[in-house]
Amino acid sequence: MNKFDDQATKALLERNLITENQYKEITSYRSLNIFSLNAELKLFLYLSVLLFTSGIGILIYNNIDTIGHIAILSLLLIVIGVCFYFCFKNSKGFQKQETTFEHPVLEYLVLAASILTCIFIGYLQFQYKPFGTHYGLATLIPTVVSFFCAYYFDNKSVLTIAITGLAAYVGLSVTPQDLFNNNNFYSTQSLSYSAIALGILLILWTIYSSRVQLKTHFNIIYLTFALHIISIAAISNLINDDYGIWILFTLILAGSSYYFYKISYQLKAISLYVFMIIYGYIGLNIFLVRIFDKINFSDVWELFILILPVYFIGSIVIFIKLIKTFNKEIAV
């Protein structure tokens, strides 16, 4: 038993939160040096699902002319059907509160079924175009299926697929790399408004879910997506030459930062708090640069250069203090 755990256990005993017998049982158990492989096994299960679905994709790509489209689609449909059969057979049914499968492997079977469904619909549309030129339907259908699976089987991984599909349906790519490299995101103003609207929609859904107590443990996922989408959309428009648009998105970023500051304390979610600070800091610096751009620093340029390192060092110190303060306050 390491020194930290021993001290923590003794502190509980001294505060009369555990009895002497409980203290002895805890110390004797820890002296066995037993450790859990649960996290490692789940990681391997997750990787196996990704490797399996990736292998299916590679198999289709390399043998598309030799195997045949009908054979590939039939094989995919059979695998999807088998996965869903075992999932529904062992499911406890839909419940508003958090539920789990008796066997954790089934959770990853749901994930595999959802990914393969996306592959099946995408391949079907690409090859036979059953939805014609309405390519949005090819995105919307697997998105709806993923949302159903996420709520029915209570699967967070599938929920992320569903939200990503919803974002793709409205024309967004929600990975940070794609957002920053997507020129249309900056040039098309309507896309920025769509991103903001989607983020607000996700926030409103968490509020509704909390009121009706519907899968409230999903809220952190919705809010994480909302934070990234709204913040990146707002920051990307802070460099806009239009003064009105610049002010509008500055206010949006400020409002978003304030909301996620409050909700991070409410949910005790340090991930939301950290990213809120980062996005707010980036937005603040862009705002200051645009303000200082209107000021002539020719007479005090050397002083400005000297102050700049102090500013960034001070920012790091403040950031660390904010994180420490947050951890102390949510621990109470």
Give me the chain's average pLDDT, please: 81
Residue 115: strand, helix, or coil: helix
269: number of Cβ within 10 Å = 21
46 burial class (0-12, 13-18, 19+ CB within 10 angstroms)? middle
Highest mean pLDDT among 27-41, 50-64, 268-282: 268-282
pLDDT of residue 210: 92
Predicted confidence (pLDDT) per residue in 137-178, tens digit: 788 889 999 999 999 999 898 999 999 988 888 776 544 455
If residue 332 lies in a helix (H) or strand (E), which one and from where to where?
A: none
pLDDT of residue 282: 93
pLDDT of residue 15: 74
pTM of the predicted structure, to 2 decimals = 0.80
pLDDT of residue 182: 47
Predicted confidence (pLDDT) per residue in 204-251, tens digit: 999 999 999 999 999 999 999 999 999 998 998 887 777 778 888 999
Distance, in Å, from the CA atom of 42 to the CA atom of 200, rounded to the nearest integer, reads 33
Percent of the chain with pLDDT over 70: 82
Highest mean pLDDT among 29-43, 194-208, 241-255: 194-208
Which one is predicted more confidently, 97 or 37?
97
| pLDDT category of residue 290 using cuts at 50, 70 and 90 | confident
pLDDT of residue 174: 46
Q: Which two tokens stand for residue 309?
A: 């390192």
Q: Across residues 189-208, what is the average pLDDT?
A: 90
pLDDT at 7 over 90: no
Distance, in Å, from the CA atom of 301 to the CA atom of 299, rounded to the nearest integer, reads 6
Predicted confidence (pLDDT) per residue in 48-82, tens digit: 777 777 777 777 667 666 667 787 788 888 988 98
pLDDT at 4 over 60: no
